[in-house]
Amino acid sequence: MVKLQLPLIVLLLDVSLNYLSAHLVYKYCPDKLLAALWLVGLIKFPVLGTVSLRLRDTPWMSSYHIYIFTMCLSQPLYQTLRLISHSPELPKSFQHNLQSHLIVFLACMLWDLLLPHIFPKKNAKQEDNESKRRRENFFRLLKYSKPDWLQLSGAFIFLTLALIGEMFIPYYMGRVIDILSTKYSESIFLEAILFMAIFSITSSFFAGSRGGLFMFSHSSLTQRLRIFLFRSLVQQEIAFFETTKTGDITSRLSQDTSRVSRAIAANVNIILRTLVKCIGVYSFMFSLSWQLTLLTFISAPFTWITQKVYNSYHQELVQKVQDSIARSSDLAKEMIESVRTVYSFAAEEEEAKRYEKSLQETHELQTRRDFVRALYLLVIRLINLSTQVALLYCGQQLIHSGYITTGKMVSFILYQMESGDYIRTLVHMLSEVTHSAGAGHKVFHYLDREPLVSNKGNLCPNNLRGKVEFKNVTFSYPSRPDVPALQNISFKLPPGSVTALVGPSGGGKTTCVSLLERFYEPQVGDILLDEIPLQEYTHQYLHSKVALVAQEPVLFAGTIRENIGYGIQDIPEKQLKEAARKAKADAFITEMEKDYDTDVGDSGAQLSAGQKQRVALARALARKPKLLILDEASSCLDAETEHEIQQSLQTIPGLSLLIIAHRLRTVQKADNILVLEGGNLVQQGTHEELVKEEGVYKRLLHGHLLQNGDQ
């Protein structure tokens, strides 16, 4: 009950104020009654509006602003109506006044009780934070639009010129009707037609130029945002991509950037155009008939409220539909990418059902969205129809009593029809701008994200020996922080040596490689290259000196030449071919129809697994590394080719090799073998030393985990 005190006090105050002001004015200056009522209404509106803001979170009272809005306008509108229909009467009695206020007040409470059940609402604090964030995003977007200021200024000038032209067209239409229905004069008629044509042609030209320039700014802002965003994304650490869905990232890049930039160019274009048109149309309407203009205000609050309610729920549903569509296309993409697996498990029907379920969800959301839209259109049409009936009725009275001509009435109706559209567009676009700027939050979130593994090192020495050292390294993956993948690991890779990493599956071999590549950063300990921590070297330098060939190397769509030279600008032909020769790829490449210019297909699909591994090895060698990491990189090669490659690699002076392999022949020749189990370094030494010890290595040999070379 306490919560109702303030609204009730305001209600009583408002009723008394209405009653008093109307009586005073009627008593002392009855001829100014209407003007005074409008004045009181307009003064009350901001004052009571501010009070209503404080009541937003009060249960039952969040629609109090509707009440305030209605009450501020009801008195002046009522009197305007009476005046137009020529039946002036005393302001209503205090009881009448109180009754009408109470009815609206109770209606608002009922609305508030029902509304949360139909559509859940956010609280005021959340809304305040969101609108603050949207404002900030909007200004940030403005900054990004700076380079387009010339086009935007041009667009604003054309916008104004187009509007001036458009504004006069209905006016001249009315004039033509008046000329035709009264005393016809050819010269005046031709003059009106001529002006109408001039305004139509010039405004069309200006409107076209305006639209073109706005669209230009829109697409250039979208492009700029996409470039910035992409740049920021590719600098993120690997863990970011493991924990963020691909669909999320691509939709930020494609849809959100476009939506956000629309907030500036396209939407501001529409808002300004509509706002100026609204002002212009209402000025014309006032000049034609101020009485009828005031009458049209009856529909304004209803249109405004309907549009606002519709916007918030429609926007939410639109977002849900978009997310659902993105999920369906992710599903389809995943199926196409893994079509071989689907085929080999005969899971076609299952996949089809999964896709159907996802589409069904989209369909249901779309139906809800369309239902909300249909309801909205119905309400808007009813409001429009009622206004037009009231207008025609009062207009007929005004024509009858000689206040306006038929032509002016036609002009007025034409303007009025436009004005309704403008108010709706204005409310819709204002919310669209804030929502678009809201989508900016997601874009800016990625744009501002600092990678957790920083690439800010600045060391790139001319000489590097290539000595690597793991010093008490402990590491857990960010997605599983409580499970250590490596525990207190220490080892050294001397320059020019061959080291093998072996151990049962899940032992931590690939994790060591990932840390060396700086995909992640260890939580404890250091990884040193020539006694200096890896993070001190520049990103480019480190990855030219430490190269990785993974078990399933990724090739990019393009030629073999492009794949081998990937990441190296203008690689000399000699360097390219030398790398291919050392990787034993030269022979099969030269046998191909287009030699090094042969296309490898999507992800290298047109090459065999062994050929892909050799191209990937050539790609690593092309950058002349000091440490080459081979993570089961020759698993798809026959023993002979693998042996040839090993021999060829040993001829490269100063190259250290870190090999993860399951073949005994590869491992046993290593200078040092590191045995990892459960994230711990459990043994190390040469093959000869390790076979003498009882331990994991021997177990692996007996368990055939380390296969013989020819197997």
Ligand X SMILES: Nc1ncnc2c1ncn2[C@@H]1O[C@H](COP(=O)(O)OP(=O)(O)OP(=O)(O)O)[C@@H](O)[C@H]1O
- Locate tokens 């250590």: which residue? 484
Q: Which of 506, 533, 654, 703 binds ligand X (CB under 6 A)?
A: 506
3-state secondary structure labels for all residues of 383-447? HHHHHHHHHHHHHHHHHHCCCCCHHHHHHHHHHHHHHHHHHHHHHHHHHHHHHHHHHHHHHHHHH
Q: Is 507 in the site for ligand X (CB under 6 A)?
A: yes
CA distance 224 to 693: 62
Cβ at position 471, least distance to ligand X in Å: 19
Nearer to ligand X, 148 or 631 (CB): 631
Nearer to ligand X, 77 or 516 (CB): 516
Q: Is 519 in the site for ligand X (CB under 6 A)?
A: no
Stretch that binds ligand X, among 357-365, 502-510, 580-588, 683-691 (CB under 6 A): 502-510
Nearer to ligand X, 251 or 635 (CB): 635
Cβ at position 505, least distance to ligand X in Å: 3
- Locate tokens 């009801």: which residue? 74
Nearer to ligand X, 164 or 239 (CB): 239
How many residues bind ligand X (CB under 6 A)? The answer is 13
Instruction: Give the β-pairing of 498-502 and 656-660.
Output: parallel
Lookup: tokens for 627? 């440490």
Nearer to ligand X, 77 or 676 (CB): 676
- Locate tokens 């918030």: which residue? 312
CA distance 67 to 206: 42
Nearer to ligand X, 420 or 503 (CB): 503
Stretch that binds ligand X, among 82-90, 129-137, 378-386, 507-515 (CB under 6 A): 507-515
Cβ at position 560, least distance to ligand X in Å: 28
Lookup: tokens for 127? 């809304």
Q: Which of 480, 482, 574, 694 binds ligand X (CB under 6 A)?
A: 480
Q: Is 509 in the site for ligand X (CB under 6 A)?
A: yes
Cβ at position 550, least distance to ligand X in Å: 11
List the interface residues with ligand X, window 241-300 (CB under 6 A): 242
Cβ at position 666, least distance to ligand X in Å: 14
Please say whether the beta carbons of 298 and 387 come within 8 A.
Answer: yes
Other residues' Cβ atoms within 10 Å of the Cβ of residue 133: 16
How deeply is 28 buried, as exposed, middle or buried, from its count of CB atoms within 10 A (0-12, 13-18, 19+)?
exposed
CA distance 172 to 407: 10
Quote the radius of gyration of the chain (alpha carbons, Å): 38
Measure Cα distances from 656 to 88, 96, 163, 577, 645 in Å. 101, 96, 73, 21, 14
List the interface residues with ligand X, window 439-478 (CB under 6 A): 477
Cβ at position 509, least distance to ligand X in Å: 4
For the chain, how many helices (H) and strands (E)?
25, 10
Q: Is 505 in the site for ligand X (CB under 6 A)?
A: yes
List the interface residues with ligand X, window 381-420 (CB under 6 A): none
CA distance 361 to 370: 14
Cβ at position 263, least distance to ligand X in Å: 37
Measure Cα distances from 523 to 473, 485, 535, 677, 700 in Å. 8, 11, 13, 19, 30
Please say whether the beta carbons of 75 and 40 come within 8 A.
Answer: yes
Nearer to ligand X, 443 or 670 (CB): 670
How deeply is 529 buried, as exposed, middle or buried, from its count of CB atoms within 10 A (0-12, 13-18, 19+)?
buried
Cβ at position 482, least distance to ligand X in Å: 11
Nearer to ligand X, 482 or 591 (CB): 482
Cβ at position 674, least distance to ligand X in Å: 11
CA distance 582 to 615: 11
Nearer to ligand X, 344 or 505 (CB): 505
Cβ at position 246, least distance to ligand X in Å: 15
Stretch that binds ligand X, among 152-160, 428-436, 509-517, 562-570 (CB under 6 A): 509-517
Cβ at position 702, least distance to ligand X in Å: 18
- Cross-strand partners of 656: 627
Please say whether the beta carbons of 11 and 105 come within 8 A.
Answer: yes
Nearer to ligand X, 209 or 474 (CB): 474
List the interface residues with ligand X, window 217-246 (CB under 6 A): 242
Cβ at position 468, least distance to ligand X in Å: 17
Q: Which of 466, 503, 565, 625 binds ligand X (CB under 6 A)?
A: 503
CA distance 388 to 401: 20
* Contact map string, positions 133 to 172, toward ligand X, x by CB under 6 A: ----------------------------------------
Of 6, 9, 39, 45, residue with least CA distance to 24 = 39
Nearer to ligand X, 458 or 505 (CB): 505
List the interface residues with ligand X, window 17-56 (CB under 6 A): none
List the interface residues with ligand X, window 179-208 (CB under 6 A): none
Cβ at position 677, least distance to ligand X in Å: 9
Nearer to ligand X, 295 or 630 (CB): 630
CA distance 589 to 597: 9
Stretch that binds ligand X, among 110-118, 158-166, 420-428, 499-507 (CB under 6 A): 499-507
Nearer to ligand X, 120 or 481 (CB): 481
Please say whether the beta carbons of 657 and 630 come within 8 A.
Answer: yes
Q: Is 511 in the site for ligand X (CB under 6 A)?
A: yes
Q: Which of 508, 553, 604, 625 binds ligand X (CB under 6 A)?
A: 508
**Please, what is the angle between helix 64-84 and helix 299-337, to 10°?**
130
Cβ at position 145, least distance to ligand X in Å: 40
Task: Please give the residue ranges that form the binding site for ligand X (CB under 6 A).
Answer: 242, 477, 479-480, 485, 503, 505-511
